Amino acid sequence: MSHDLVIKNGIVVDGSGEAGFRADVAISDGLITEVGKISGSARETVDADGLVVSPGFIDNHTHYDAQICWDPMLTPSSWHGVTTAILGNCGLGMAPVTAAGRAIATEDLVSIEGMPVDALKAGIDWNWESFPEYMRACEARNPAINLGFLAPLTPFRHYVVGEESIERASTPEEIATICGLLRESMEAGALGFSTSKLPLDIGYKAQPVASRLAPPEELAAYAGVLKSMDKGVIQLSLLSEVGKMTDEEYSLIDTLLDAGGRKVTWLALLSREDRPEAGMAILDKCNDQYRRGSVPAVAVRPMIIALQLKGNPLVMGELATMQQAFNLDLPEQIKVYSDPAFRAALRADMAKPGLIPWNWSRIEVGRVSNPALKSLEGRSIADIAAERGADPVDAFLDVAVEDRLEVSYNMPLFNTNDALCSELFNDPRTIVSLSDGGAHADMLCDAGFSTYMLGYWAREQQVISMENAVKRLTADQADFYGLKDRGRVQAGKAADIVLFDPLTVGSPLKPEMVHDFPGGCSRLITRPTGVARVIVNGKSILVDSEETGLMPGRMVRN
């Protein structure tokens, strides 16, 4: 028998969680045809001696909705072995959209997902209106990896309700129209829908994004579409305060489970050092919901962001005082930040319990542009405030103003305690997620979560086996999202495969800045180590970290 490709002598870690085993893998016509001792000829043979042969990784939480327009490789995710990315999370996306609504969609992505506005203006051609048209337009760009789509509720509500969608709930007639559009999207292959209830999701006109204005009974109607079609999942951005779930939030998950009868994943379950018991307490509180199909999303990397006060600093959007500084030009922002009344109000807001733990001894000056401030790099705000005899909030704002808001602060937020973090991602009631690939490009880059999990957690810390780490990144993802032909190295499955060196695979915590977005815009990236080959639908898209130019990705449907 002749094969297109045979991978020989590797250790197959097949996604089941079972122990790896030495075997060959044969591929023909984009499918795995045999796993074992392979006979017969092959057009190409790859020697995988010393390498793990794994299913391709599935990244269920990306925001490549715009980047796909100019980067069919979907970097850096594809570099890290991601062979399937799911777009349209958090209720945000690019469709459906009228010509008049494009500015609204753009501002939502800029304000909430931190996408560079100049890159969006230069890189998007808007050759679609409906959501099925958008999905087909993305597929027509011949991506290197597979694309799955969640239908994002915010643009759906904008499309039907107009600008009032950021002010009120939808009428019964409008809900019926949105349900029809959602059904159309599901029929075209969407994997479900997404929505948000996060207080910091402030978008167009500095108002809450449209999906936040949908009350539970409206969301239940959309869940009912999935129930009537018996397919799809619901993704929900939920917790208004990390480490705490309110009764209202718990009730919303119940509503969606009851109305949809489908799986629900919500974000984010992150660990906090100041509340070490919080993560497991939430899991235990939601145990009955887990049995009914609700699975919270957890991260495997420490969340360390680079925060700038210029523009719309997303993570500060929950602070009511801070919102008056959003959507201002530079001189006006500097004026606001310098105002003593603004500072007093902000200080009071920061003292309240909320999303961000404002620990000034851990918040450091990262990069500055003003040479006179270079000595501050690497120093904490608490230290700088003590030296200046100032309040930490004043020092925080003073340094920003002195650098004309160019300063970047390094803020460790969550998942900073290894024991607490691993406790959550090892729990079967969670799903590994939250790379945010394509978003917050100037703040963080967690798109290397897969190689970080394999290198740091499985090899170095040994808190999870390599086999179970692979399962969490592959089969668990495929099973949750209904991708029945992917997630395992098994005959008959799609030939999405990663070859990696278990002794060197990894991803750095510190990202690097590059300037490769349209319009010369910058972004943070991470590059993996130990990834020898990435295969999508039987074609090698990366070999020893070099792109081959092949673009075999396709749209994965429900």
CATH no. for residue 465? 3.20.20.140
Is residue 190 within 8 A of residue 137, CB to CB? The reply is no
The answer to the question of residue 30 being in a domain is: no
Paired tokens of 318: 């929950």
Tell me if the pTM is above 0.85: yes
Q: Do 447 and 358 share a domain, yes or no?
A: no
| Rounded Cα–Cα distance for residues 178 and 171 (Å) | 10
Q: Do 402 and 317 share a domain, yes or no?
A: yes
The answer to the question of residue 363 being in a domain is: yes
| Rounded Cα–Cα distance for residues 299 and 431 (Å) | 9
The answer to the question of residue 327 being in a domain is: yes
Parallel, antiparallel, or unpaired for β 31-36 and 531-536?
unpaired
pLDDT at 315: 79
Q: Do 291 and 337 share a domain, yes or no?
A: no
Give 547's contacts (C-beta < 8 A, 6+ positions apart). 73, 144, 541
pLDDT at 422: 98
pLDDT at 1: 76
The answer to the question of residue 61 being in a domain is: yes
Paired tokens of 509: 């915590």
The helix (run of H) or strand (run of E) holding residue 214 is none
The answer to the question of residue 403 being in a domain is: yes
Q: Do 127 and 163 share a domain, yes or no?
A: yes
Overall domain count for the chain = 2
Q: Do 162 and 251 share a domain, yes or no?
A: yes
pLDDT at 40: 85
Is residue 410 within 8 A of residue 392, CB to CB? The reply is no
Q: DSSP letters along 103-139, please?
A: HHHHHHHHHHH---HHHHHHH-----SSHHHHHHHHH
Q: Do 451 and 476 share a domain, yes or no?
A: yes
Q: Do 261 and 179 share a domain, yes or no?
A: yes
- The pLDDT tens digits along the chain (558 residues) read 799 999 999 999 999 999 999 999 999 999 999 999 998 899 999 999 999 999 999 999 999 999 999 999 999 999 999 999 999 999 999 999 999 999 999 999 888 887 888 999 999 999 999 999 999 999 999 999 999 999 999 999 999 999 999 999 999 999 999 999 999 999 999 999 999 999 878 888 878 999 999 999 999 999 999 999 999 999 999 998 889 999 999 999 999 999 999 999 999 999 998 899 999 999 999 999 999 999 999 999 999 888 899 987 877 887 889 988 987 999 999 999 999 999 999 999 999 877 677 889 999 999 899 999 999 999 999 999 999 999 999 999 999 999 999 999 998 889 999 999 999 999 999 999 999 999 988 788 999 999 999 999 999 999 999 999 999 999 999 999 999 999 999 999 999 999 999 999 999 988 888 999 999 998 999 999 999 999 999 999 999 999 999 999 999 998
Chain-centre distance for alpha carbon 5: 32
| Rounded Cα–Cα distance for residues 536 and 390 (Å) | 55
Is residue 528 within 8 A of residue 504, CB to CB? The reply is no
| Rounded Cα–Cα distance for residues 135 and 189 (Å) | 9
Domain final residue, candidates 362, 394, 411? 411
Chain-centre distance for alpha carbon 276: 24
Chain-centre distance for alpha carbon 72: 17
The answer to the question of residue 539 being in a domain is: no
Q: Where are the beta strands (DSSP E) in 221-323?
A: 233-237, 264-267, 294-298, 303-307
* Beta-carbon count within 10 A of 407 CB: 24
Helix orientation angle between 172-187 and 153-161, rounded to the nearest 10 degrees: 130
Q: Do 344 and 196 share a domain, yes or no?
A: no
Paired tokens of 3: 């094969």
The answer to the question of residue 94 being in a domain is: yes
Domain final residue, candidates 362, 396, 411? 411
- DSSP 8-class letter at 56: P
Domain span including residue 328 = 306-411
pLDDT at 442: 79
Q: Do 292 and 368 share a domain, yes or no?
A: no
Domain final residue, candidates 359, 377, 411? 411
The answer to the question of residue 290 being in a domain is: yes
Q: Do 174 and 293 share a domain, yes or no?
A: yes
Q: What residues does 57 pair with on adjacent strands? A: 82
Paired tokens of 1: 């028998």
Q: Do 438 and 456 share a domain, yes or no?
A: yes
Q: Do 467 and 447 share a domain, yes or no?
A: yes
Helix orientation angle between 172-187 and 131-140, rounded to the nearest 10 degrees: 30
Paired tokens of 135: 């999905």
